[in-house]
Structure 1
Amino acid sequence: MPSKYAGQSTIFDDEEVLSEDWTPDDLPERDDEINQLESAFAPATRGAGADNVFLYGKAGQGKTAAAQVELSELEYHAENESDILDLTTLFVSCEDLTTSFQVVNQIVYQLTGERMNGLSTSEAFDRMFEEFNKIGGTIILVLDEIDNIGTDDKILYSIPRARSKGYVNEDVYPSIVGISNNLKWRDNLSPKVKDSLYDESVHFVPYDAKQLGEILERRAEKAFIDEDVLGNDVIPIASAFAAQDKGSARQAIGYLRKAAKLASSKGDETVTESHVREAEALIEKERVEEGMRGLTTQGHLALAATTALELSNDTPARTKIIYGIYKTMAKKIDVNILAMRRMRDQLHDLDMQGIMIRSEFNDGSQGGHYYKYELGIETEAAVSVLSNISRLDEIDLNSIESAHR
Structure 2
Amino acid sequence: MSRYASNSNIFDQEEVLREDHHPDELPERSEELDQLHMALSPAARGVGANNVFLYGKAGQGKTAAAKKELSELQYHAEQESDHLDLTALYISCESDDISTSFRAASRIYMELTGNDRPTGYSTDAVVDMMYDAMNEIGGTIIIVLDEIDSLGTDDRILYSLPRARSQGYVNDNVYPSVIGISNDLQWRDNLSPKVKSSLYDDSVLFSPYNAEQLRQILRRRGAKGFRSAELVKIDENTSVDESNEKVVTIDNSGDEYVFRSGVLPTDAIPLVSAIAAQDKGDARQAIKYLRKAGEIADRAGDTTVEDTHVRAAESQVEKETVREAMLEMTTQAQLTLAAITVVELAGDTPARTKPIYGVYKSIAEEVGSDKLVQRRMRDHLKELDMQGIIDARKKTGGSVGGPAYHFELQVERDIVKDVLKNVTRFASIDFDSIGSDDQPGLERYT
Q: Could you state the TM-score of these two structures normalised by the residue count of structure 2?
A: 0.76
Q: CA, structure 1 residues 107+324, in 2 after alignment: closer, same or farther (shift >3 Å)?
A: closer
| Residues 292 and 355 in structure 1, CA contact (< 8 A), matched pair in contact too | no
Share of identical aligned residues, percent? Answer: 56
Query: Matched residues in 1 for 2:116 and 2:185: separation?
Result: 34
Q: Which residue of 1 aligns with 2:413?
A: 377
Cα shift at 1:329: 5.5
Query: Matched residues in 2 for 1:80 and 1:134: separation?
Result: 23
> Where does 1:5-404 land on structure 2 (aligned, <5 Å)?
5-95=4-94, 96-111=97-112, 112-227=114-229, 228-301=262-335, 315=346, 330-331=364-365, 333-337=367-371, 377-378=413-414, 382=417, 385-389=420-424, 392=425, 396-397=428-429
Structure 1: which amino acid aligns with 2:183?
N
Query: Matched residues in 1 for 2:358 and 2:174: separation?
Result: 64
Query: Matched residues in 2 for 1:170 and 1:351: separation?
Result: 46
| Residues 216 and 235 in structure 1, CA contact (< 8 A), matched pair in contact too | yes
- Structure 2: gaps spanning 5 or more residues: 230-261, 392-405, 434-439
Cα shift at 1:304: 5.7
Q: CA, structure 1 residues 164+5, in 2 after alignment: closer, same or farther (shift >3 Å)?
A: same
Query: Matched residues in 2 for 1:160 and 1:223: separation?
Result: 42
Cα shift at 1:239: 1.0
Structure 1: which amino acid aligns with 2:43?
A
Query: Matched residues in 2 for 1:317 and 1:163: separation?
Result: 57
Secondary structure of the residue that 1:230 maps to in structure 2? coil
- Structure 1: gaps spanning 5 or more residues: 357-370
Cα shift at 1:297: 2.8
Secondary structure of the residue that 1:88 maps to in structure 2? strand
Cα shift at 1:90: 0.2
Query: Matched residues in 1 for 2:291 and 2:10: separation?
Result: 11
Query: Matched residues in 1 for 2:136 and 2:205: separation?
Result: 34
Worse-superposed segment, 334-343 or 181-190:
334-343
Query: Matched residues in 2 for 1:344 and 1:67: separation?
Result: 35
Structure 2: which amino acid aligns with 1:97?
I
Structure 1: which amino acid aligns with 2:322?
V
| Residues 141 and 174 in structure 1, CA contact (< 8 A), matched pair in contact too | yes
| Alignment size in residue pairs | 384
Query: Matched residues in 2 for 1:39 and 1:347: separation?
Result: 39
Query: Matched residues in 1 for 2:263 and 2:282: separation?
Result: 24
Secondary structure of the residue that 1:229 maps to in structure 2? coil
Query: Matched residues in 1 for 2:75 and 2:150: separation?
Result: 31
Structure 1: which amino acid aligns with 2:291?
R
Bigger share in helix: 1
Structure 1: which amino acid aligns with 2:219?
E
Query: Matched residues in 2 for 1:51 and 1:348: separation?
Result: 33
Query: Matched residues in 1 for 2:358 and 2:216: separation?
Result: 52
| Residues 212 and 239 in structure 1, CA contact (< 8 A), matched pair in contact too | yes
Structure 2: which amino acid aligns with 1:127?
M
| Residues 63 and 179 in structure 1, CA contact (< 8 A), matched pair in contact too | yes
Secondary structure of the residue that 1:5 maps to in structure 2? helix
Q: Which residue of 2 aligns with 1:360?
A: none
Query: Matched residues in 2 for 1:280 and 1:66: separation?
Result: 27
Cα shift at 1:41: 1.3
Worse-superposed segment, 106-115 or 315-324:
315-324
Query: Matched residues in 2 for 1:349 and 1:106: separation?
Result: 28
Q: CA, structure 1 residues 377+129, in 2 after alignment: closer, same or farther (shift >3 Å)?
A: same
Query: Matched residues in 2 for 1:61 and 1:257: separation?
Result: 18
Structure 2: which amino acid aligns with 1:46?
R
Q: CA, structure 1 residues 221+330, in 2 after alignment: closer, same or farther (shift >3 Å)?
A: closer
Secondary structure of the residue that 2:413 maps to in structure 1? coil
Query: Matched residues in 2 for 1:195 and 1:306: separation?
Result: 39
Query: Matched residues in 1 for 2:385 and 2:197: separation?
Result: 40
Query: Matched residues in 2 for 1:126 and 1:28: separation?
Result: 41
Worse-superposed segment, 290-299 or 323-332:
323-332
Worse-superposed segment, 192-201 or 316-325:
316-325
| Residues 297 and 305 in structure 2, CA contact (< 8 A), matched pair in contact too | yes
Structure 1: which amino acid aligns with 2:413?
I
Secondary structure of the residue that 1:215 maps to in structure 2? helix
| Residues 49 and 174 in structure 1, CA contact (< 8 A), matched pair in contact too | yes
Query: Matched residues in 2 for 1:109 and 1:241: separation?
Result: 42
| Residues 60 and 251 in structure 1, CA contact (< 8 A), matched pair in contact too | yes
Secondary structure of the residue that 2:12 maps to in structure 1? coil
| Residues 307 and 383 in structure 1, CA contact (< 8 A), matched pair in contact too | no
Query: Matched residues in 2 for 1:13 and 1:91: separation?
Result: 30
Query: Matched residues in 2 for 1:103 and 1:345: separation?
Result: 27
Secondary structure of the residue that 1:196 maps to in structure 2? helix
CA RMSD of aligned residues (A): 3.6
| Residues 355 and 376 in structure 1, CA contact (< 8 A), matched pair in contact too | no
